[in-house]
Amino acid sequence: MKFDCLKVSGKLDFVHVVQPMKGGYKTTISIDGVKIPNVQLTSKFYEELDAGENVTLYGLFKNSSKKEKNDGVLYGLKKASGERMFATHFRFVVPMMLTVYAALAFCLVFVLGWMASTVPVVWLYGKEDINGFIYHTTVFALVEACLAAGFFLWRAWLMVSVTNDPESWNVMSPAALSTRFSKFHK
């Protein structure tokens, strides 16, 4: 789940729809003659982008070493006129989904962790005291479940915090961003 929040500016050449998706499109965007493939954007953004216009795009882009797996999501755009638009629903929907995943991970890891923790608890504390055995096993499972849920909650908080101020995102040239993607997709 490694991604970078980036601003890319330049003259928009075209937006080519590769695949329609629910609520938007998977596209290839060309800025300053450089193609940036696998960019997901909402229908509203697609309608607002006009060829030949200078724009600044705000996006969340994966940075994987496997170039064919990299993609991006357009979070916002700024036109030459100064008009700014953001897909603010991403700011809250993604963290809410991650919170649900955190609850599921907590429940699953607690149950599986309780069963898996029996062996280390017997090894560390012995099995003579059944009440102590149940208590220690439950504590181990609770810690494991909290760590699993904490990971998802941390990622949810990261999403909220990075989308708070898009103007502070790093600036990258279209050519540098394009090198992250496989030539196959261009």
Q: What residue has token string 């149950």?
A: 111
Q: H/E element holding 45?
A: helix 43-48
Looking at domain 3-87+167-185, what is its CATH homologous superfamily? Nucleic acid-binding proteins (2.40.50.140)
From CA 183, how far away is CA 166, in angstroms rounded? 29
- CATH 2.40.50.140 maps onto the chain at 3-87+167-185
Query: Cα separation of 73 and 161, whole Å?
Result: 17
Residue 107 CA to residue 145 CA, distance in Å, equals 7
Q: Supply φ then ψ for residue 121, to 5 degrees.
A: -65, -45
Average pLDDT, the chain: 88
- Among the residue ranges 46-50, 84-88, 126-130, 181-185, the one predicted with the least confidence is 181-185
Global model pTM greater than 0.75: yes
Residues 59-84: tens digit of each pLDDT: 988 888 887 788 889 999 999 888 99
Kindly report, residue by residue over 143-170, the tens digit of the pLDDT.
Answer: 999 999 999 999 999 889 888 888 889 9
